Amino acid sequence: MAEINLQEIHDLLISVAHEAGRMMMAATPSYLSSGTKKNSADLVTETDQAVEKLVSTRLLSAYPTFKFIGEETYYQGQKLTEEPTFIVDPIDGTTNFVHTYPAFCISLGLAVNKSAAVGVIYNPFLDELYTGIKGKGSFVTRNGTKLRLPLKQEPEPLKDLSTCLVGTEWGSDRSGNNFAVKTKVFSKLAASKDDGGAMVHSIRSGGSAALNLVLVAAGQQDVFWEGGCWAWDVCAGWCILVEAGGIMVDGNPGDWQPTMEGRTYLAVRGAPSGQRDIVEEMWKVIGDGKMIYES
Ligand code: LIP
């Protein structure tokens, strides 16, 4: 296979992200006109579909031999291969988009050999662009200024969960094993040490896995833990996270090298020490309450 020019792909993804951002900002979404997928908390809008069409057309006309996996055109059984693959969420944070809560974005990743090689995430409401190329670092551009991630040149060491701001998501499953595991972990993370909890600084649920990952990459959130999201929610953010010194492990205890399609993820920010301790403490909090998702 010919050498892939990651810089050229990165530049194209940025141009597509800006175009998609204009479409999102021109739309007038409402819960009245939104459709649902798995259940009433799993929303989709015409804009999700229109943006994905634009993105797939633009990317595949420039790179016709590449594969494409997108949230709105994914079919059961579709698998990521070693081939260069664009992995795309046209709107990550669709619920936020529908409510005009200002945390939605387009998430554009390129995976090569099943690993994230380029990531571009754009929040059009805040005009914030996050980018990363494997081996070349990651950045945020806001108000016309481009800053390297993480934002602190010398991030603090990670001590234990009691000093962490943790991002996690409710997701759309509201019953069954996975809901029970999540609510138990939320409670254990928040509870006081006297009651056997981790007493984290606080818990955030921003509503977009991609934006959670870039917050961890930036060092503005120490940890992100989620089960139930998909490759398109994490591919771009994974590249940006790792390029900023962060790590991604499995959201269920035990696996230090999770796969893109594993559906359970734990991200920890870059730090001079303590990353592994945070993972181990988080896995201890989860205990034997394994989240189970089809992949
Ligand atoms: C959403 C994620 C969110 C997660 C939801 C869903 P969508 O993506 O980013 O973090 O909790 O289950 O996957 O549907 O807005 O693209």
Task: Give the C-alpha separation, 219 to 206, whole Å.
Answer: 15
| H-run or E-run covering 254 | none
88 lies in the same domain as 10: yes
- The catalytic residues are 71, 89, 91-92, 94, 233
User: Closest ligand 1 atom, CA of 169?
Assistant: 11
Assess if residue 153 is contained within a domain.
no
**Cα(90) to centroid of ligand 1, in Å?**
11
Where among 93, 118, 148 does a domain terminate? 148
- Encode burial over 37-59: b for 16+ CB neighbours within 10 A, e otherwise: eeeeeebbbebbbbbbeebbebb
What's the Cα-to-Cα distance from 174 to each of 19, 170, 181, 228, rounded to whole Å? Answer: 35, 8, 11, 12
Distance 233 CA to ligand 1 centre (A): 7
Collapsed DSSP state (helix, strand, coil) of residue 20? helix
Q: Which residue numbers belong to the known binding site? A: 71, 89, 91-92, 233
Which whole-number Å values give the CA distances from 253 to 135, 187, 285, in the listed order? 28, 18, 9
Residues 126 and 175 both lie in one domain: no
Cα gap 48→27, rounded to integer Å: 10
Structural domains in the chain (count): 2
In this structure, the answer to whether residues 281 and 168 fall within a common structural domain is: yes
* Cβ atoms of residues 214 and 167 within 8 Å: no
Confidence band of 2 (pLDDT split at 50, 70, 90)? confident
Decide whether any atom of ligand 1 lies within 6 Å of the 171 Cβ. Answer: yes
Beta bridge partners of 141: 129, 146
Q: Is 214 in the pocket of ligand 1 (CB under 6 A)?
A: no
Ligand 1 neighbourhood includes 94 CB (under 6 angstroms) = yes
**What pLDDT, in 10s, does the model give residues 202-260?**
999 999 999 999 999 999 999 999 999 999 999 999 999 999 999 999 999 999 999 99
Confidence of residue 1 (pLDDT cuts 50, 70, 90): low
Shared-domain flag, residues 15 and 119? yes
Residue 56 within a domain: yes
Nearest CA residue ID for atom 5, ligand 1: 171
Q: Give the domain range for residue 16.
A: 6-148
Residues 13 and 144 in one domain: yes
Q: Is the pTM of this model over 0.95?
A: yes
In a domain, 156, yes or no: no
CA distance 4 to 17: 20
Q: Which whole-number Å values give the CA distances from 294 to 3, 77, 97, 261, 285, in the listed order?
A: 34, 10, 26, 10, 23
pLDDT at 224: 99
Binding-site residues for Mg(2+) sit at: 71, 89, 91-92, 233
Q: Tens digits of per-residue pLDDT, 242-254? A: 999 999 999 999 9
Is residue 185 located within the same domain as residue 281? yes
